[in-house]
Structure 1
Amino acid sequence: MPDPAARSAKAEQTRSTILESAMRLFRRDGYDRTTMRAIAGEAGVSVGNAYYYFASKEHLIQAFYDGMQDEHADAAAGVLERETSFDARLRGVLEAWLEVAAPSHEFAGQFFKNAADPRSPLSPFSAESAPARAASTALYARVVEGTDLKLPANLRRELPELLWLLQMGVVLFWVYDDSPDQRRSRELVSRLVPIVDRMVRLSRLPVVRGLVDDMLGLVAALRSSGPQ
């Protein structure tokens, strides 16, 4: 697979064509029924050329994830420039994700079926998903930075990853949300963000700080005992 930094304009166009063709077929025929040969045919390239750019269907989905993450960051940029309060920034970023993901809702369940397997490279916790996961966590670090929050140092350090986990919960709800235009998912975000905002602000109180330390200790223990 060519180094992204070394791709020519023609190579980048070929790669984009293959990815766009794959997404069309995934939407039309389903992920499981779509083959790399069919993707190559749709893109007008040889099967060998398709495999040159994407070693498998899983690599195509990873590229789709990466592209969606870039779109999410772009869609969230305005609210991060405009808002300084934590709740407005968090709500804006979560709502931006719902907007970016909306066109993919019809076939999101097909991907989730594979991503739910912890051994799958499509799992959001897999090594293969590390770049998209890191980019999303960095976006939530931007949510925290520059806000009016005053946080204990240990919570400030861990909060971006906790917010990414919160987004994963929203994603799971969204996948199963069959309401028109996924209105229930938007309602979930609007109700959830004020709760998270209050919980985070309470973390500075002495009576709550010990509980926060225990929670972060649990997160650290789970992280260290997870797959390496």
Structure 2
Amino acid sequence: MAMQTAKGAGTRQSVLNASLRLFAKDGFQKTTMRAIAAESGHSLGNAYYYFGSKEELAGELYRNLRQEHRTRAWPKLAAGNNLETHIRTILNTVLDVLEPFHDFGPAFIRAGLTGTEDPQDPDRGRDLALWRQAVETARPQPPLSMRQDLPELLWLLERGVVLFWAHDPSPGHRRSRRLITNASPVVARLVVLSRLPVVRTIFDDLIGLVRATA
């Protein structure tokens, strides 16, 4: 049984590796499951056994890239940086990681929408841990009343930036970078202003909206 499990894991990985080679060479749209099966040396049926579509393969790639993003971003969250710096760092790093795969943008969005809506999704928990680290190590500290809910709101901001990037036709996707540059200080200032009751009410409404759609 262990040998069969290891063999299955090897077959799955070889199909995934073949898809990445073809995606890199021919692009996501032009690559077919039949071509992936041929490249991997397995039958089409075997490829479909492990991945129901090339969109599922793109979803697996997206999960791997999310892990790479966390690995790259975490060491950059130096204690003492202000919140604006941490927001800008995490958002720019996610685009650095995703940039070579812009052709996959819509597939990544679909993959993100199907997995990370689940509060029990491990990757969602790891993403939130990254944002929690950004909040906890920022100086000055965000208002105490915001610290528990702020990581999830910033995670939603990250998803919005990725959605914008996925459909950004500007050369080098400069508009996405400009969005990060302009949005980071605004969000950081709003967090500081959340000490004011009227601003805190807006944040409470946002949090309530998130909870209602979870």
TM-score range, shorter chain: 0.7 to 0.9
Could you tell which deviates more after superposition, 59-68 or 214-223? 214-223
Which sections of structure 2, spanning at least 5 residues, go unmatched? Answer: none
How far did residue 191 of structure 1 move? 0.8
Which sections of structure 1, spanning at least 5 residues, go unmatched? Answer: 224-228
Q: State the partner residue of 2:126.
A: 135
Change in Cα spacing, 1:213 to 1:122, as seen in structure 2 (3 Å) is: closer
TM-score for the superposition, normalised by structure 1:
0.76
Q: State the partner residue of 2:204.
A: 213
How far did residue 11 of structure 1 move? 6.5
Secondary structure, counterpart of 1:145 in structure 2: helix
Q: For 2:190, which of 176, 199, 204 is the aligned residue?
A: 199
Secondary structure, counterpart of 2:172 in structure 1: helix
How far did residue 34 of structure 1 move? 4.0
How far did residue 175 of structure 1 move? 1.6
Number of positions where the alignment pairs a residue of Structure 1 with one of Structure 2: 211
Paired residues of 2:58 and 2:104 also in contact (CA < 8 A): no
Secondary structure, counterpart of 2:78 in structure 1: helix
Paired residues of 2:161 and 2:176 also in contact (CA < 8 A): yes
TM-score for the superposition, normalised by structure 2:
0.80
Q: For 1:43, which of 25, 40, 43 is the aligned residue?
A: 40
Q: For 1:150, which of 125, 142, 155 is the aligned residue?
A: 142
Paired residues of 2:116 and 2:123 also in contact (CA < 8 A): no
RMSD after superposition: 3.3
Secondary structure, counterpart of 1:200 in structure 2: helix
Q: For 1:22, which of 19, 29, 36 is the aligned residue?
A: 19
Q: State the partner residue of 2:163.
A: 172
Superposed CA offset, 1:87-114 (max 9, x none): 11111111101110110013424x26x7
Secondary structure, counterpart of 2:149 in structure 1: helix
How far did residue 126 of structure 1 move? 4.9
Find out whether 1:59 has 2:24 as its counterpart.
Answer: no
Q: Percent identity?
A: 42
Instruction: Tell me, in whole angstroms, the C-alpha distance in 1 between the residues paired with 2:175 and 2:13.
Output: 33
Kindly provide the amino acid, as one letter, of the partner of residue 143 in structure 2: L
Paired residues of 1:69 and 1:135 also in contact (CA < 8 A): no
Superposed CA offset, 1:119-140 (max 9, x none): x88645555x934333322221
Q: Which 4+ runs in 1 deviate beyond 6 A?
A: none
